Structure 1
Amino acid sequence: MPFFSHMDTVGELIERNYRLRPDAGAVTFEGKTQTFRALTERAFQLANAFHAMGLRRQDRVAVLAQNSPQYVEVYAACEIAGFITVTINYRLAPGEMAFILKDASPSVLVFDPDYAEVVAKLSADLPGMQCIMIGAAGTGAFLSYEALLQGKPAVPPPIASRPDDIAYLIYTSGTTGRPKGTMLGQAAMAQSAVAHAWEKEHRESDRVLAVMPLYHVGAKYTQNSTHAAGAELVLHRSYNIEKVAADLQTYKISSAHLAPIMVQDLLNLPNLKDYDHSALRLINYASGPMSVALLEKAIATYGPLFMQHYGMTESGGTTALLAHDHVVTGPPEAVRRLASAGRASPGTRIKVVRSEGSECDVEEAGEVLMLSRMNMSGYWNNHAATLAAIDEDGWLHTGDIGYMDAAGYLFISDRKKDMIISGGENIYPREVEEAIYRHEAVAEAAVIGVPDPRWGEAVKAFVVLKAGAMVSEGDLIEHCRAHIASYKKPKQVVFVAALPRLANHKIDKKELRKEDWGGLQRSVN
């Protein structure tokens, strides 16, 4: 019998494990295992510490850290007490972090010592934010995480989360160059945890490997679904393919969440045959589609144990291409579905619509819409964006263009939005263009995503310089690094005399994309 059951809040999920599996392993990290008892009691202590500092329901707690048990504890404390966890991508430029902190206005920032220097600068503009450094010792104005827990009661805090509370505030890249805070609710995330655990057939005996960063919704879904089943999470601080290969063997990992690029790296290891990965029964790949050629190679190596999830930060409900759907040889209609994103997950409805809103016929392309109680509640401090994303009937507009076959399998062919997915990270051209425009030599800029054999997609910029101005490709790329995260910077800059225009004078990005995407079956990777 599966361990998971219906829950109204993620806090209930934590306390259920505390009651029923207190001495089972919850999180294994760098060779040490934390039980569900230890995790929950430290989360109780942290929640009580936050409450003593003056935090109340729906106050925000920001986290700037790489993966660690403390990251999971912060999440758990907030999930139990009804605080909102605000995750910050540590790869962002300081200016990008500053925007998120000002927009979310957290009462507390918990951070790794690695980021003490940037936190010191950021906190100067946010005098009401209390800063807590992970570790046993604080420095200067920073409180110590371990000292904060000392003496706090390891019992439930005086406040508790409610189903209609916001659980997480996760920022995504924005079409206007400004990130948007996606509000993910307690009830929605509890239901998502159970749905994902059921879909992955998780059980108490599982050990699930998580290497994605916990600031990313994909990693959080992995943790939640693992713990919904009462299973053990083997957590890596950061991604290292040699460590992944070793720990798959050492811990007899039964399930792993990997991006397509990670699967590719695993298959390319020269000593892969030296490892025993026979305990694996599921590799869940997400954060972008996998090419059919790579899937065929992966299945030839590991067998039919692959599963794809397609979704977005805004959608706790997704589609899934299950292991039995990964047909390499067989009827043409079944083999064809290897290139699909699968069918709607439990609790999610999918439809494809024309521009005026009517539903498309089978095999007819249109925008993909999702309806689910697991979808986001909206965007933080951005009502206009919320109204644009969620219609009056609750359907979430994904911005992806796709079509469905007669059996309900969804195929993604293009993006209505300009978003680029590179190495599993979302990048909007607008934010890259804004960084390029900050250079005094630039008159005009247009950014697109192009196919990349390793990253799926890469950022390519077309730039028109001001009359008489000069700047090299390398200098312009380095300029971007000062304003946006390094992974967002262009990999290539093409200098042109003029950008192609449509009749309404907008830049014709379809024309710019022709050279790199022409002849390919789909316009996304």
Structure 2
Amino acid sequence: METLGKLLDRNAQLYGSEEALVFSGRTLTYDDLRQRAGRLSAALYRLGLRRQDRLAILAMNCPEYLEVYGAGHLAGYIISTVNFRLTLPEMEFVTQDSAPTIFIFEAQYAGIVGALRASAPSIRHFICIGDAPDWALSYEGLMASEFENKAPIVSLTDDYAHLMYSSGTTGRPKGVIKTHRAELARGEIFSGMLRLMSDERSLVVMPLFHTGATSIMLAAHWIGGSVVLHRKFDPNAVLRDIEAYRVAMTHMAPTLVRAILDSPDIDTRDLSSLKTLFYAAAPMPVALLKRAIDRFGTILANGYGMTEGGGTFLQKHYHRPDGNEMDRRRLFSVGHPTAHAEIRVVDGDGEPLPPETAGEIVLKSPTVMACYWNNSVATRQTLRDGWLSTGDVGVIDKDGFVYLVDRKKDMIISGGENIYCQEVEQVLMNCDGVREAVVLGVPDDYWGENVAAFVIREPHSTVTSDEITAYCNAQLARYKVPKSIVFVEDVPRVTSGKVDKRTLKSVYLEQAASAAAL
């Protein structure tokens, strides 16, 4: 397969009458998807869009999102996705950086897109899905007026396909560029490791501007399977549709898995069709993992990757919380490298380190990004001699299992000692009464930094900070034990489900400054 557009053409030819998408009771066949994507590509060409121009989309999950992707895949437009949870200044940055020629948006975002117009001189046309304001074209009106089957241009293998902005947990988001070649590899690798079949349905609940959702979409369409798409995550709707559509695979962040398990509807639904529950984006606490296995069976699989590329895969049969010591240790790993991927742990000079030695994880894979958009400095820092520097600290054991230790930028240095946040977080989450814990470093006049922990209690738990500290003292070296424990109801997160430590730290420091001023 040469391009994502060729994949769309192939699926329409071979599986034309087969179901490609189910959304709120509406079904699109592969032939429907190809026809609508083709007409859209032609309409956009008529408006002046050309190969490798940027086409931005701001929308929640909807069928039109897949049509926009398809139009870009056929004609070689670069699809620039916009996170609908961003603030206006953040959207202004993304829009100015990506410089799209055409901007497609849902009607509910007309207010914020209207405010963007003055700061986005590159945009020639705005297209609205739904009731369009007077300054925008109607999406369906545009489609209805177009009779060409496809734009008179085609994508090429090494064309840029997708421009997705990283979550920005460690600074301003960077635009990640992926080629058709890399995205096809992602679809093939994911479909293989998830063992998808063409007669099965995969449920997508993560947002389509995110790499997690598009990985599942690409995997399903690689083998001609069907995607059940949800507009947003709702645990009861997830359970309902797994039963109704006999869903075989879904992907969720651990926080969403917990919400599913907590749903009062879970024991009223037939979930026997579910063969794979793929979790990623954040570590799964062992207690939660055991709950999931008790309810669903050994169908859980884990993976490690990022917008820039993947990654690893921890297969289902390695999920043995009641096994021996090695089995239990492997639950904290993210598995082995995926097909065609190589992973190393290196020191500060880029030299490989021996097993069980912590260093930066670097990876080489056909799924790795081409570059950061408009950021050659960050590209050179991240892509070195064909290897992607992930910014994650990890170890590889003698059997090739990869373990994440921390983000390089999250590592706490207290009195000259390195403290890895994830190590402390895992101890905290094994403490009775603790539902979730987030650890970060905060300034300390004497030690440089000390350890602060934000703890979410289990419902009805009365565990105290003194009890948590006593538990940590028995499990950790003294310098690793949190010096402050803050009980919270929730923590800020980015759209992938990862904790937004930058925002959390900012809030902590503001509150500390206010308390000091009293």
- Band of TM-score, shorter chain: 0.7 to 0.9
Q: Structure 2 stretches of 5 or more lacking a match? A: 412-420, 426-437, 441-448, 459-490, 493-498
TM-score (norm 1): 0.80
The match for 1:502 is none
The match for 1:405 is 397
Q: Structure 1 stretches of 5 or more lacking a match? A: 1-6, 430-445, 456-476, 479-484, 499-525
Amino acid at match of 1:417: K
Equivalent pair of 1:8/1:187 in contact (CA under 8 Å):
yes
Equivalent pair of 2:395/2:404 in contact (CA under 8 Å):
yes
Cα 1:360–1:496 shift into 2, 3 Å: same
CA distance in 2, matches of 1:108, 1:248: 36
CA distance in 1, matches of 2:504, 2:393: 25
1:335 CA drift (Å): 2.8
1:272 maps onto 2:266 in alignment: yes
CA distance in 1, matches of 2:323, 2:253: 26
1:175 CA drift (Å): 7.5
CA distance in 2, matches of 1:448, 1:57: 50
Give 1:181's match in structure 2, choosing from 163, 175, 182: 175
Q: What is the SS of the residue equivalent to 2:119?
A: coil
The match for 1:493 is 508
Cα 1:339–1:20 shift into 2, 3 Å: same
CA distance in 1, matches of 2:91, 2:452: 24
Cα 1:41–1:293 shift into 2, 3 Å: same
TM-score (norm 2): 0.81
CA distance in 2, matches of 1:124, 1:395: 40
Equivalent pair of 1:351/1:369 in contact (CA under 8 Å):
yes
Give 1:200's match in structure 2, choosing from 194, 200, 205: 194
CA distance in 1, matches of 2:500, 2:62: 23
Q: What is the SS of the residue equivalent to 2:381?
A: helix
The match for 1:90 is 84
CA distance in 1, matches of 2:455, 2:188: 35
Cα 1:208–1:453 shift into 2, 3 Å: farther
Cα 1:375–1:125 shift into 2, 3 Å: same
The match for 2:331 is 338
1:134 maps onto 2:129 in alignment: yes
Cα 1:497–1:301 shift into 2, 3 Å: closer
Moved more, 357-366 or 37-46: 357-366
Cα deviation, 1:212-263, whole Å, max 9, x if unaligned, reads 0001111111111111111110000011111111111111111111111111
Amino acid at match of 1:358: E
Amino acid at match of 2:508: V
1:174 CA drift (Å): 4.3
1:272 CA drift (Å): 1.4
CA distance in 2, matches of 1:453, 1:245: 25
Q: What is the SS of the residue equivalent to 1:100?
A: helix
Cα deviation, 1:446-472, whole Å, max 9, x if unaligned, reads 9999555599xxxxxxxxxxxxxxxxx
The match for 2:253 is 259
Give 1:298's match in structure 2, choosing from 292, 302, 322: 292
The match for 1:21 is 15
1:154 CA drift (Å): 5.1
CA distance in 2, matches of 1:16, 1:453: 49
Equivalent pair of 2:333/2:402 in contact (CA under 8 Å):
yes
CA distance in 2, matches of 1:149, 1:325: 49
Q: What is the SS of the residue equivalent to 2:301?
A: strand
Give 2:409's match in structure 1, choosing from 414, 417, 430: 417
Supply the RMSD in Å over aligned alpha carbons: 2.9
The match for 1:44 is 38
Q: What is the SS of the residue equivalent to 1:33?
A: strand
The match for 1:503 is none
The match for 1:35 is 29
Cα 1:246–1:173 shift into 2, 3 Å: closer
CA distance in 1, matches of 2:452, 2:226: 38
Cα 1:269–1:28 shift into 2, 3 Å: same
Q: What is the SS of the residue equivalent to 1:304?
A: coil
The match for 1:474 is none
Give 2:371's match in structure 1, choosing from 356, 372, 378: 378
Cα 1:354–1:487 shift into 2, 3 Å: closer
Give 2:75's match in structure 1, choosing from 81, 88, 92: 81
Equivalent pair of 1:261/1:454 in contact (CA under 8 Å):
no
Q: Which has the higher contact order (CA 8 A, sep 6+)?
A: 1
Amino acid at match of 2:393: I
CA distance in 2, matches of 1:121, 1:362: 53
Amino acid at match of 1:224: L
Between the two proteins, the alignment pairs up a number of residues equal to 444
1:10 CA drift (Å): 1.4
